[in-house]
Amino acid sequence: MKRKGHNPNPRDMNTIVPIHNAVNERAWMEIKKWEDGKSDCEIYLHSFKGRPQDRSPKAWIKTALGYTPPFDRHDWIIDRCGQRVRYVIDFYSGSNKMGLNTPSFYLDVRPALDDFDSLTQRLWKLIN
């Protein structure tokens, strides 16, 4: 956080770190849903990059249509049987419908449109 210019209170880390870890675990679960049935290989996270200043094309369109922009973006590269596949994750603040004093997030996780396979994977999900 200090590298990103934040100056957090160390006591707050006991709250922030578990939330951060839970959000990342949720992102990984969403990637695994996309990858289900793609291969017999185990997938691994190869690398990731936070891109909070960059809007994905989908987020840009949604924002232009009046939706709230995401507060963060990550690109995660997974290894699927030696093949590198990029996923885009847009992080949105969620609505807290239950009235609890807890943070709420919505993650939009999907394969990046880097190749024909990722395009067909996303189109298949749209129609099913």
CB-CB contact of 94 with 128 (8 Å): no
Predicted pLDDT at 80? 95
For 23, other C-beta atoms within 10 Å of its C-beta total 17
Instruction: Flag whether pLDDT at 58 surpasses 90.
Output: yes
Contact 55, 68 (CB under 8 A): no
What's the CA gap between 124 and 118, in Å, rounded? 10
Does residue 70 form part of some domain? yes
38 within domain boundaries: yes
Give the structural domain span for 118. Answer: 10-96+103-127
In a domain? residue 1:
no
Q: Is residue 112 part of a domain?
A: yes
Residue 46 in domain: yes
Residue 4 lies in a domain: no
| pLDDT single digits (tens) 60-117 | 999 999 999 999 999 999 999 999 999 999 999 877 666 666 667 889 999 999 999 9
Q: How many whole angstroms separate alpha carbon 95 and alpha carbon 41?
A: 36
Model confidence at 123: pLDDT above 70: yes
Name residue 83's beta-bridge partners: 80
Residue type for position 69: P
Q: Is residue 5 part of a domain?
A: no
pTM (2 decimals)?
0.85
Count up the domains in the chain and report the number: 1
Q: Is residue 24 part of a domain?
A: yes
Per-residue model confidence (pLDDT) at position 128? 83
